[in-house]
């Protein structure tokens, strides 16, 4: 699945072509190499490896030609959420695009993450599964005429609290992933 990246040359990364499908269809992809200096078109995915309960178990699976790649439940959920039903998406997601068993490569790729996120056409944020409280607060935050912060409703304050308590908001990396993004959604 992972062909070696030339670590002596700057800008080398792997991208994933995520094939279209319905939510419950098998996740199918093709992993390929690209170079950031060639300005490839891709989207980066920002998420947490662990789900809301802290589980990092590799119980999901991603089909790459000729074999399955084990992935965390949260990676599985993120890929299902961003997968388009009608067209292929070219994405970068750390747990798949970096060969995690190769310490040298992992270190090299981590040092390039600022460029990976900055050069992505957009950063797709997966902060967890949709809940009524998160849907309410995100709808409210999207309403520019009235801020939920100004609203005296304790329901909105509780919804906001629940949202920012999600694991994604507690990662130090999100600062880099969101600040460097051309567009974060």
Query: What does DSSP say about strands 43-46 and 89-92: parallel, antiparallel, or unpaired?
Result: parallel
Asked if pLDDT for residue 130 goes beyond 50, the answer is yes
The verdict on 99 and 136 lying in the same domain is: no
Q: Is 184 domain-assigned? A: no
Both structure tokens of 91: 């994405």
Q: Is 76 domain-assigned? A: yes
Both structure tokens of 33: 């190499």
Alpha-carbon gap, residue 37 to 61, rounded angstroms: 31
The verdict on 49 and 84 lying in the same domain is: yes
Opening angle at CA 26, ends 20 and 82, nearest 5: 45
Number of domains in the chain: 2
Q: Is 1 domain-assigned? A: no
* CB-count exposure of residue 71 (10 Å: 0-12, 13-18, 19+): buried
Question: pTM to 2 decimals?
Answer: 0.77
Predicted pLDDT at 48: 84
Asked if pLDDT for residue 107 goes beyond 50, the answer is yes
Predicted pLDDT at 6: 81
| Contact between 39 and 119 (Cβ < 8 Å) | yes
Q: Is 139 domain-assigned? A: yes
Q: Is 72 domain-assigned? A: yes
pLDDT average, residue stretch 75-101: 96
The verdict on 73 and 50 lying in the same domain is: yes
Q: Kindly write down the DSSP assignment for every residue of 142-169, as one continuous string.
A: H-TTS-TTT---HHHHHHHHHHHTSGGG
The verdict on 88 and 123 lying in the same domain is: yes
Identify the domain containing residue 136 by its residue range.
130-165
Measured between alpha carbons, how far is residue 23 from residues 19, 84, 122, 130 in Å? Answer: 12, 9, 22, 14
Percentages (nearest 5) of helix, strand, coil residues in the chain: 35, 20, 45
Both structure tokens of 98: 């970096």
Q: Is 6 domain-assigned? A: no
The verdict on 116 and 27 lying in the same domain is: yes
Name the packing angle between helices 132-142 and 154-164 (round to 10°): 110
Q: Is 5 domain-assigned? A: no
Taking only the tens place, the pLDDT of each residue in 10-28 is: 899 999 999 999 999 999 9
Predicted pLDDT at 148: 47
């Amino acid at each position: 699945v992972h062909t070696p990246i030339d670590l002596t040359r700057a800008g080398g990364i792997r991208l994933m072509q995520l094939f279209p499908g319905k939510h419950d269809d098998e996740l199918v992809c093709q992993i390929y190499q690209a170079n950031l200096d060639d300005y490839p078109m891709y989207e980066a995915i920002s998420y947490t490896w662990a789900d809301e309960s802290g589980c990092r178990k590799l119980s999901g699976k991603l089909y790459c030609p000729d074999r399955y790649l084990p992935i965390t439940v949260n990676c599985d959920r993120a890929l299902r959420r961003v997968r388009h039903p009608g067209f292929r998406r070219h994405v970068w997601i750390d747990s798949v695009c970096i060969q995690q068993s190769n310490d040298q490569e992992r270190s090299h790729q981590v040092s390039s993450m600022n460029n990976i996120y900055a050069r992505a056409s957009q950063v797709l944020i997966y902060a967890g599964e949709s809940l009524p409280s998160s849907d309410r607060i995100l709808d409210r935050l999207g309403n520019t005429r009235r801020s939920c912060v100004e609203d005296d409703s304790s329901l909105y304050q509780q919804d906001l609290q629940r949202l920012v308590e999600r694991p994604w908001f507690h990662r130090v990396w999100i600062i880099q992933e969101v600040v460097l993004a051309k567009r974060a959604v």
